[in-house]
Amino acid sequence: MKNFLNPILSVLSGLLLAFAWPTNGFVGLLFIAFIPLFIAHYRLNKTAVKAVKWKVFLHAYLTFFIWNIITTGWLYYSSAFGMWFAVLVNSLLMALVFLVYHLVSKKVSSFTSSSFFIAIWLSFEYLHLHWDFSWPWLQLGNGFSESVSWIQWYEFTGVFGGSLWVLVVNTLLYNAWLQYSSRKENSVSTKGITIRYGIPALLIIALPISLSHFLSINSITNDVEGTEVVILQPNIDPYSEKYDISNSQMAENLMTLAVDSITANTKLIIAPETTLASGMRLTGINGNPALNRIKRFLFDYPNTYYLGGVSLGDSFKNKDKATSQTNYIKNGDFYYNDYNSAVFMNSTNPVELYHKSKLVVGVENFPYKNVLQPILGDVMLDLGGTVATKTTQEDREVFITRDSLKVAPIICYESVYGEYVTGYVNNGAQFLSIITNDGWWQNTQGHKQHLSLARLRAIETRKWIARSANTGISAVINDYGKIITVLGYEKKGALKGTIYPNNKITFYVKHGDFIARVSVFLMLGIFLFSFTRRGVMKRK
Lowest mean pLDDT among 232-236, 381-385, 420-424: 381-385
Encode pLDDT of 446-458 as tens digits: 999 999 999 999 9
Angle separating helix axes 52-72 and 445-461, nearest 10 degrees: 90
Cβ contacts of residue 323 below 8 Å, gap of 6+? 337, 391
255: in domain? yes
Judge whether residue 535 has pLDDT over 50.
Answer: no
Mean pLDDT of the 17-21 span: 98
Same domain, 387 and 263: yes
How many C-beta atoms surround the C-beta of residue 237 within 10 A? 12
What is the mean pLDDT of the segment spanning 346-367?
89
Residue 83 has pLDDT above 60, yes or no: yes
- Amino acid residing at 96: L
Residues 242 and 302 in one domain: yes
Helices 159-185 and 514-532: crossing angle in degrees, nearest 10, is 40
Compute the residue count for the chain: 540
Q: Is residue 222 very low, low, confident or very high in pLDDT (cuts 50, 70, 90)?
A: low
Same domain, 293 and 340: yes
pLDDT band with cut points at 50, 70 and 90 for residue 385? very low
**pLDDT given for residue 373 in this prediction:** 62
Q: Do 307 and 337 share a structural domain?
A: yes
Q: In this structure, are 204 and 158 located in the same domain? A: yes
More confident position, 519 or 223: 519
CA 469 – CA 488 distance, rounded (Å): 10
- Mean pLDDT across the chain: 90
* Domain co-membership, 239 together with 279: yes
This prediction's pTM: 0.93
| Residue 54 in domain | yes
248/201 same-domain check: no
Contact status, residue 110 vs residue 171, Cβ threshold 8 Å: no
Domain CATH for 429: 3.60.110.10
pLDDT tens by residue, 246-294? 999 999 999 999 999 999 999 999 999 999 988 788 888 999 999 999 9
- Asked, for residue 506, whether it belongs to a domain, the answer is no
- Partnered with residue 230 across adjacent β-strands are 269, 496
Q: Which range marks the domain in which residue 49 is found?
A: 2-218+513-532
List Cβ neighbours of 484 (8 Å cut-off, separation of 6 or more): 475, 476, 477, 478, 497
**Is there a domain that residue 537 lies in?**
no
Residue 379 has pLDDT above 70, yes or no: no
Would the pLDDT of 382 be above 80?
no
Confidence tier at 319 by pLDDT (50, 70, 90): confident
pLDDT tens across 128-156, in order? Answer: 999 989 999 999 999 999 999 999 999 99
Phi, psi of 167 (to 5 degrees): -70, -40
- Tell whether 377 is covered by a domain: yes
pLDDT, position 278:
82
Q: Under 8 Å CB-to-CB from 120, ≥6 apart: which residues?
A: 97, 100, 101, 519, 523, 527
Confidence of residue 376 (pLDDT cuts 50, 70, 90): low
- Structural domain total, the chain: 2
Torsion sign across C-alpha atoms 127, 129, 135, 139? positive
**pLDDT at res. 24:** 94
68, 83 in Cβ contact below 8 A? no
Backbone angles phi, psi at 9, to 5 degrees: -65, -40
Give per-residue pLDDT as tens, 149-191: 999 999 999 999 999 999 999 999 999 998 888 777 666 666 7
Residue 523 has pLDDT above 90, yes or no: yes
Give the strand pairing for 474-477 and 227-233. unpaired
Per-residue confidence (pLDDT) for residue 537, from 0 to 100: 44
**Beta pairing, strands 227-233 & 266-270:** parallel
- pLDDT of 493 > 60? The answer is yes
Residue 403 is assigned to a structural domain of this protein: yes
pLDDT surpasses 50 at 383: no
What is the chain's Cα-based Rg?
25
pLDDT at site 180: 82
Which pLDDT band, with edges at 50, 70 and 90, does 442 fall under? confident
- Structural domain includes residue 492: yes
148 and 260 co-located in one domain: no
Q: Are residues 524 and 413 in the same domain?
A: no
* Start-to-end CA span in the chain (Å): 28
- 104 shares a domain with 132: yes
Together in a domain, 520 and 496: no
Strand runs labelled E in 15-71: none
232 lies in the same domain as 135: no
pLDDT of residue 386: 45
Residue 540 resides in a domain: no
